[in-house]
A = this chain, B = another copy of it.
């Protein structure tokens, strides 16, 4: 038995693998979408789970896009997070179910992430709640 057999060998993936055509296409789509956002205000989102990404490509994208200052937690039926990337206007959105499995992952191009924005109907309803609350206070 040779001494070499006893040397442990660790094969490690590089911290940031080279991007493939997939990741290049996603970055290019983000570029176009940001241009559209600026000129027309139109928002866009890329469903990362619908794409045939190779292992490591999601990590590569995450590394490439970096991290901004804003992190959002939404606790509705499951836990969702929105992480601002270092590219402002590009948000990494992850939806989890009640047992914390990732159900969907998107790159969203918008000024304000959709999941955060208060909807008009909800605001209208809240206004009624608030008015009722004030009326109750005045009668008590």
Contact = CB atoms under 8 A, between A and B. Distances in A.
Interface string A110-134: 1111011111101111110111011
A8 B111 CA distance: 57
A58 interface: no
Interface stretch (A48-56, A86-94, A95-103): A86-94
Nearest to A127: B34
A75 B69 contact: yes
A125 to B, nearest CB: 7
Count of identical protomers in the assembly: 2
Contacts of A71: 72-75
Q: Which of A19, A34, A130 has the most CB of B within 10 A?
A: A130
A88 B122 contact: yes
A104 interface: no
A76 interface: yes
